[in-house]
Amino acid sequence: MADDLQKGLDDVLVAESSLSYIDGDAGLLAYRGYDIKDLAREASYEEVLYLLWRGELPDRDALDEFATELAAERAVDESVITTLDGLAAADERPMAALRTAVSMLSASDPEESDPDDLDAALRKGRRIAAKVPTVLAAYDRLRNGQEPVEPREDLGYAANFLYMLDGEEPDDVAAETFDMALILHADHGLNASTFTGMVIASTLADTYSAVTGGVSALAGSLHGGANQDVMETLLELDESEKDPTDWIRDAIDNDRRIPGWGHRVYNVKDPRAEILTEKSAELGENSGEKKWYDYAATIEEYLTEEEQFPEKGLAPNVDFYSGTVYYQLGIDLDMYTPIFAMSRVGGWVGHVLEYQEDNRLIRPRARYVGPENREFVPIDDR
Ligand SMILES: CC(=O)SCCNC(=O)CCNC(=O)[C@H](O)C(C)(C)COP(=O)(O)OP(=O)(O)OC[C@H]1O[C@@H](n2cnc3c(N)ncnc32)[C@H](O)[C@@H]1OP(=O)(O)O
Ligand SMILES: O=C([O-])CC(=O)C(=O)O
């Protein structure tokens, strides 16, 4: 038995995977061998889902069939909408509403869960991926006193979500930008939320349980929650009316942890952040409102030259520019992490199924450091 302690499981190998390849020193990410930059530029989120789940890119017929099946499963049961309405009345956070809704979706799944039937597990994953946008858009509307908008089967995954959110078809720039953001967030190896899903699935629990666990783990500020924190930080900077360089200098002097910086795997700028930087700048140019991009870019420039940050391998991660992109698309701040979850369903389902093909219960150990050989004292004598 190995006795060396790996707190946080840094660098511990626990599985083999052919979903994503990450080189944290070179700043490379590929899904099943395809560079993320090519996928972000050329593919659609549906194509990427197909790739993650089936291992190959689809040809046009296969993609049409897959996208049609996915679109046909977008509607959610009325009981889910009623529950969301109750959660909205209680002012629940969207991530918590999503966690509750994913768990609830299993009640209307038409197939039994069978740990030996991985095809059925994949179909469950597909239903979750299809319904999460409907849940999120409905929740956002209900909490704003609006009726949910029914999904449309004739729109792509990204465009349909934006349509259900606003009640109006998005323009091409918004739909393409959002689709690209979904592609960038779809998978990232054994990150905390994916690993959570794998731990759950390794007990032979079903896909809904694994995805509910994934949503729960993604919510925290060290993981998916950071995208909202980044935008809140930029708004704080804006309200301070300080020069951005002075603002970030003060933040560092006060030992603040800067959201959207640092990553367990990357020691250089995250390749997804490179793409989102360009997108954020482009949206600012187009709208004439460049300040959100400018604030982020100024912080990046300052921290990149600051001694400690490069020394500790701290650089912008995927969350640093995604917030400015969503903000410019007019999306509410507390929807950013749920949108991340919407995309990451692809990775969660892919990894869970890959792991279950050759399943082994995940069960690490803790080194016992508590007291020993204590004499039990009955309650009335303590
Ligand atoms: C999609 C994603 O999940 S990407 C990550 C999203 N999360 C964030 O952006 C939150 C901000 N970042 C962080 O908290 C961290 O960088 C993490 C959690 C992402 C990675 O953390 P770890 O690999 O555990 O690094 P750890 O927390 O040990 O930090 C190493 C050193 O860098 C410092 N550091 C790490 N991140 C930051 C940051 N964002 N700002 C300032 N200092 C930081 C730590 O204080 C520590 O310094 P020390 O060695 O002087 O004590
Ligand atoms: O990989 C990680 O640790 C965090 C993550 O999910 C990502 O960067 O997309």
Tokens representing 95 are: 């991530």
DSSP string, 311-372: HTT--B-HHHHHHHHHHHTT--GGGHHHHHHHHHHHHHHHHHHHHHTT-----------S--
- Return the biggest CA–CA distance within the chain: 76
- Residue 350 Cβ inside 6 Å of ligand 1? The answer reads no
Q: How far apart are CA 84 and CA 106, in angstroms?
A: 15
Nearest-CA residue for atom 5 of ligand 2: 191
> Phi-psi category of 9—alpha, beta or left, where left has phi over 0 and alpha has psi -120 to 50?
left
Give the pLDDT of residue 2: 72
Backbone angles phi, psi at 261, to 5 degrees: -120, 145
CATH of 38-221+333-356, one of 3.40.640.10, 1.20.120.1200, 1.10.580.10, 3.40.50.1100: 1.10.580.10
Confidence band of 313 (pLDDT split at 50, 70, 90)? very high
Within the chain, all domains assigned CATH 1.10.580.10 are found at 38-221+333-356
pLDDT, one tens digit per residue, over 57-68 is: 999 999 999 999
Tokens representing 56 are: 């190959």
24 Cα to the center of ligand 1, angstroms: 14
Which ligand is nearest to the Cα of residue 322, counting in written order? 1
Task: Indicate the top mutation candidate among 188, 195, 255, 257 to test ligand 1's pocket, ranked by most ligand atoms within 8 A of CB.
Answer: 257
294 Cα to the center of ligand 2, angstroms: 25
DSSP string, 146-177: -PPPPP-TTS-HHHHHHHHHHSSPPPHHHHHH
- Residue 222 Cβ inside 6 Å of ligand 1? The answer reads yes
pLDDT, one tens digit per residue, over 341-361 is: 999 999 999 999 999 999 999
Which is the closest atom of ligand 2 to the Cα of 318? Answer: 8
4 Cα to the center of ligand 1, angstroms: 23
Average pLDDT score, the chain: 97
pLDDT, one tens digit per residue, over 84-94 is: 999 999 999 99
Backbone angles phi, psi at 29, to 5 degrees: -140, 130
Dihedral (Cα; 297, 255, 335, 95), 10-degree rounding: 150
Nearest-CA residue for atom 7 of ligand 2: 188
Confidence band of 154 (pLDDT split at 50, 70, 90)? very high
The residues assigned a catalytic role are 263, 319
Tokens representing 301 are: 């420039």
Q: In the predicted model, what is the mean pLDDT of residues 170-192?
A: 97
- Residue 344 Cβ inside 6 Å of ligand 1? The answer reads no
pLDDT, one tens digit per residue, over 321-331 is: 999 999 999 99
Q: In the predicted model, what is the mean pLDDT of residues 265-283?
A: 97
Within the chain, all domains assigned CATH 1.10.230.10 are found at 226-328
In this model, does residue 73 exceed pLDDT 90?
yes
Nearest-CA residue for atom 6 of ligand 2: 191
- Name the residue with tokens 């626990």: 14
Tokens representing 168 are: 């109006």
Nearest-CA residue for atom 3 of ligand 1: 223
Contact criterion met (CB below 8 Å) for 148 and 142: yes
Classify domain 226-328 at the CATH superfamily level: Cytochrome P450-Terp, domain 2 (1.10.230.10)
In this model, does residue 307 exceed pLDDT 90?
no
- Residue 194 Cβ inside 6 Å of ligand 2? The answer reads no
Nearest-CA residue for atom 30 of ligand 1: 312
Q: Return the CA Rg of the chain.
A: 22
Which H or E element spans position 91? none
